[in-house]
Structure 1
Amino acid sequence: MYALVDCNNFFVSCERTLDPTLEGKPVVVLSNNDGCVVSRSKEAKDLGIPMAAPAFKYKELFKEHDVRSFSAKFELYNFKSQQVISIAKSYVLDHEVYSIDELFLDFTGFKYINIHEYCIEIKNKIREEANIPVSIGIAPTKTLCKVANRIVKKYPENFDGVFILDSPDKIEKALKWLDIGDVWGIGRRLAIKMHDNGVHKAWDLLQKPEMWVRKVMGIHGVRMINELKGIRQLELDAPSPKKSIAVTRSFMEMLTDKKDVRERVETFGMYCSERLRKQNTCCKMVTVFVQTNRFRKDLPEYKNAVTKILPNPTNSSILIGRVVNELFEAVFREGFHYKKAGVIVNDFVPEDQRLINLFEEDTQNQHLPVMKAMDAMNKKFGKDKVRLGSMSGENTYGRKQLSPEYEAFLKNNTFTEANFRFH
């Protein structure tokens, strides 16, 4: 059996750990630059606030119903996610972190344990220690775990946060209830095609001949119907090493001044360097891109990117900063209103396995003590307290709605690098 541990309204739940008075009130969390709603409490959902709703369009509704809105605090969400993962994985031998708020647990071999009661204990432990509410779906396959978890969240009053699909009758009933568009792996376009062919519920898909499924969905579809039947096709995956690091941002306001755009891009390069050092790797390739607002048809449009292969792998903020500045000069054009920019580093090698070009000067080792000292001081005193002169020290997310509690949280905790996707 597998179990899917899924945090409820995760970003909102994290906000409530900072401010318990938010419990029971409508709360939303906004995306970068406080643009769109990316997480909603149950109370906010009941008010009809949709996911990805532009915040400016719902200002009046927020004011009328006293909806509390907050800027995204990704450091907090990563920290709480690591807490949940640490607690949950301590109960099993194998697990897979699927996203920032979801992980699978493997209960293979747990023959003499009541898995339902065991998962209730896990749920209660997470609530007690991390103060995050979770729902747990248990089933023979990962796809059915998603189904069980959806049932828990749809009918919370009927279950104590845990539901198990452990019999053919339960599985059949669940699949006859589940819309085909809600099956894990069925996207919007494929759901339309399914509806056109009379497949409206997950159970309907199982009634189709395998040849039809293979023709419409390929081998992926065959695996899916086997998973829905309770035949395991998807094993737990180990986290794959990162192949690239990107720091990209949309600006709160369009920028026209070259020095303003340069400062943002150089700051992004510094953050890429910090992440490289956190995972003890160096990069051999750096890319810088800029682009205007493609939705502003009244303004001239421009986007461009330039890449450089480095003579020697590095994670030095100084060296990467020089390269980023050089690439920025090549990519920037006057006369445009820039809305977004970013830096991408890739082609990684371990820090202790660098191959040096004999014909190029290598200053990586000269900078390493300075970089490590800077990282140590920022870890102790807070992000960007020690930085290069080209950095302004202002946040790159455009987050206006932060709180003193969050500032205290940042100061009093240390953070690990996230190894999952922010969905």
Structure 2
Amino acid sequence: MGSRNLVVSYQQQPREEAKQKTFVPAEGRNRRVLQDIGNLVNDRVSLQGKKPTTEVVDIAVARDVRAPAATKAPAAEIKKANEKHRPEDVIVISSDETEKSKPVSRRVSRKGVKTLTSILSARSKAAFGKAEDTVVDIDAADVTNELAVVEYVDDMYEFYKLTEVDSRVHDYLQSQPDINGKMRSILVDWLIEVHRKFELMPETLYLTINIVDRFLAVKMVLRRELQLVGISSMLLACKYEEIWAPEVNDFVCISDNAYIREQVLAMEKAILGKLEWYLTVPTPYVFLVRYIKASIPSDKETESLVFFLSELGLMQYPVVVKYGPSKIAASAVYAARCTMDKSPFWTETLKHHTGYTEDMLRDCAKLLVQCHSAAAESKLKAVYKKFSSDDYGAVALLTPARSLV
């Protein structure tokens, strides 16, 4: 049977070769694209290594399913011969089960291996100190807090630093013949009392004072209308910041009926017109929240002292017109750390997040400490009384920073 099949297969070989030659052009067109992506490279290599007799015998053995066991011996020898001529490098596209039999990769693991970059970085730190290592990630604990917007908070404060120039107040009293710096301090002192009486948010106070100063910088105001500007500015700030804003009549009553409702609304409209409805401004409070967080370790007493010093600075006209909101906030943190005798007074973390060095803040911090020293003897005691209470840890009673007096 085996020799018979061989004869038949040899007789059928020309016909099969003719068929193969007939379909070569079509097959070449279909396979050429596949060859570009490397699917059939190994098939062509393997076909080139086979002899014609081997191909015929393989076909005959494959067709003779009913052949007895004795006739399979030549097939085994032929299979061995095929393996002998089989190319060594064969790329097999297989399933996950066949992937287990792949040879082990010779790729060497680089885990734990010191690279040139790491070695140079270590030498740089040893030579120039470890300043980068001392910068603490103050947002690490808020990664899961969506309201903290950790992904954007650094970009937000960079934007605040750029836009604070637009809302910064410069010297405007020269254009106000009926108002001076002392009158402004009296107004701010009274607004702080009103703010505490209404139990408003701290953001409202800082925005109120910002609106007052910006309006006085562009509009000449008479002395008798200065308090009206104050309550109208606080009404606007409450509408912007508060959930439940006080009503107009509440401000009329708190001003001892010095003005009527229509006057408050008219002044509110005039302020919005002059400021062109520009109320989204970075006040010192915006920076205080961030800088207090960067002051590590932080506690309630230090936080209250920072707000005490910053509100004292808001009352002083020279501080407001000379320094920007971010610098006032950073100086308040620096002065508070000096008052609490925290070592060091200014850390690398604070320097990184504020963008200010200790030398850049010393002048403004000295003015704030001077205000702290004079607060107990001043006639304007709204801030002093507020921060002398137990609610704020009585931080106003602390001894001012001796290093900045």
Higher helix share: 2
Considering Cα pairs closer than 8 Å and 6+ residues apart, tell me whether 1 or 2 has the greater RCO: 1
TM-score by length of 1: 0.20
Larger Rg: 2
Per residue, is there more strand in 1 or in 2? 1
